[in-house]
Structure 1
Amino acid sequence: MGEQAALERVEDPVTVDSLVADLRALGVEPGGTLLVHSSLSALGWVAGDAQAVVDALRATVTEAGTLVMPTHTPQYTDPAGWSNPPVPADWPERIREARPAYRPASTPTRGMGAVPECFRTYPDVHRSAHPIYSFAAWGADADAIVADHRFANAMGEGSPLARVYDRDGDVLLLGVGHAVNTSLHLAEYRADIDPPRITCEAPVMRDGERVRVSFEDIETDTGDFRTVGGAFESRASVAHGTVGAAGSRLLDQPALVDFATDWFEANR
């Protein structure tokens, strides 16, 4: 969305204070654990751009709570499988050899949007060590949520998603839909559906040296995420509202994951 279109979506500039008020009206409370998926452009014209959104989320959750965002790095997936666009046939191994090691403090996100990319750069934010499916967190339980993120089964039981679940957290869809709702991946791991397994490889730093590590995971499938999310919303209490200019939803994460686990078992 261009600057003019963003201006036309709002009557007044979206500010930190107005975002906090909108988030409070939606039901976000201080002291909770909040997993956020967001679209900056959906909010309209924001004074301060992504930084204002991060500041507003922090102010709403407060230091007594914990703010969590996915900070994934798909640039470390297998280049042989890239399709948008594909790379030349003789490039994949050259890419694997050449790309720098994943480093939580400095490796940028890719395709995650401006808000999580901004969030991960704050000096008091903790980021997990997973080279593809990292999460970042700030607040009371930030370190506990992102510590010891297992490489294998990256969004399963050893993941920040499971730790949000254990803390009875909420999911905030801020101008986005269930297609990007990572909590549904946790349900994929928990469901008795026997998905295909794949081998992943990525470079990381160990003892000051770049090493390539391999680990197994499931082949996730987001194709039905919109459907299962809609089915959950038709049966559960979900808060709907507008934050800035963005249609937004606040969901109970454990209830969503439990529902989706059953749904996947019945429909996949």
Structure 2
Amino acid sequence: MTRPLVLRADLERDLRALGVEPGGVLVAHVSLSRLGTVVGGEQAVVRALLDALGEDGTLVMPSQSWQLCDPAYLADPSVPPSRYDDVRAALPVYDPAWTPTRTMGLVVEALRTLPGTVRSSHPHRSFVAHGPRAAEVLARHDLDDPVGEGSPLAALHALDAQVLLLGVGYDKCTALHLAEARSGLVPPTVRNGAPVLVDGHREWVWFDEPVVEDADFETVGAVFSATGHETVGTVGAATARLARVRALVDLAADWFARTRDRRD
């Protein structure tokens, strides 16, 4: 089957028709492969998102770098526990400008490396942002609270940002982790660590972070969709969903509080 040819201008047109707000703040999750054959690839997608937002808009994406997690946390079977200390000593220090993302897709990497993009300070669960409100969104990112009140997700909620799921489902929606944090449920924590700069020197820093889960994200996404507070359309060849972070998080936090503590 022939994949449709998609131009940057097509993407911008579709994004505007979907309801992306010029001058707004948008957190996007994008699957490049679902969009069709995009002329210019991931660079064209980033430019189309920025074009739709306009010069006063701010684009945000999660830019996680799992490779810097503690080896005991990752539990990679190819790394024996006897070598964990060696791995901790050898991992490169987190550098917001240089550390690559992992498992986040080509579009995020294109945004991360675009001149003018800034990145938050968390060595594992960072976000990147481009636009006039980037610094405001990324100002706080606590090591022990990577997707809760101490994270850019809380800033996105406060700004009533839009969330775009482009070719992906609610299982990829990072904002739902903020709903977990606001559900009132107390999650277990797990030990983690990372190599970071402290006063200009590399240090291995330990911290305990909440255990998050996404097994029910598609279910709560369907509940949210049924409320009519999302817009569904087509961007390129992909199904796109657009909603408000605040409406989604508030509904999901209540839903998690009512359903998760009843599960076996």
Say whether the fold is shared (TM-score over 0.5). Answer: yes
Out of 191, 197, 201, which is 2:193 matched to?
Answer: 201
Which amino acid in 2 is paired with 1:49? G
Question: Partners of 1:91 and 1:225 in 2: how far apart?
Answer: 36
Flag structure 1 segments of 5+ consecutive residues without an equivalent: none
Deviations 1:34-83 (A, max 9, x none): 00001011111011110000000011111211110000111122322436
Question: Partners of 2:230 and 2:136 in 1: how far apart?
Answer: 27
- What is the number of residues matched between the two proteins? 260
Q: Residue 80 in 1 paired to residue 72 in 2?
A: yes
Question: Partners of 1:179 and 1:141 in 2: how far apart?
Answer: 26
Question: Partners of 1:243 and 1:237 in 2: how far apart?
Answer: 19
Paired residue for 2:19? 27
Question: Partners of 2:200 and 2:139 in 1: how far apart?
Answer: 19
Paired residue for 1:135? 127
- Cα distance, 1:111 vs structure 2: 0.2
Question: Partners of 1:178 and 1:77 in 2: how far apart?
Answer: 25
SS of the residue corresponding to residue 90 of structure 1 reads helix
Q: Is the 8 A contact 1:80 1:87 kept in 2?
A: no
Flag structure 2 segments of 5+ consecutive residues without an equivalent: none
Q: Residue 219 in 1 paired to residue 220 in 2?
A: no
- Cα distance, 1:200 vs structure 2: 1.7
- Cα distance, 1:181 vs structure 2: 0.4
Question: Partners of 2:78 and 2:256 in 1: how far apart?
Answer: 30
Paired residue for 2:232? 240
Question: Partners of 1:212 and 1:82 in 2: how far apart?
Answer: 16
Paired residue for 1:9? 3
Question: Partners of 2:107 and 2:53 in 1: how far apart?
Answer: 16
- Cα distance, 1:85 vs structure 2: 5.7
Deviating above 4 A after TM superposition, structure 1's stretches of 4 or more consecutive aligned residues are 83-86
Paired residue for 1:149? 141
Deviations 1:157-185 (A, max 9, x none): 12111111111111000100111100000
Q: CA RMSD in A?
A: 1.4
Deviations 1:108-147 (A, max 9, x none): 0000000011101011011001001100111121111112
Question: Partners of 1:51 and 1:42 in 2: how far apart?
Answer: 15
Out of 56, 65, 74, which is 1:64 matched to?
Answer: 56
Percentage of identical aligned residues: 48
Deviations 1:14-34 (A, max 9, x none): 111110001011111201110
Q: Is the 8 A contact 1:62 1:139 kept in 2?
A: no
Paired residue for 1:98? 90
Return closer, same or farther for 1:164/1:200 CA change in 2, 3 Å cut-off.
same
Matches within 5 A, 1:25-64: 25-64=17-56
Question: Partners of 1:164 and 1:86 in 2: how far apart?
Answer: 38
Greater Cα offset, 38-47 or 74-83: 74-83
Question: Partners of 1:33 and 1:214 in 2: how far apart?
Answer: 32
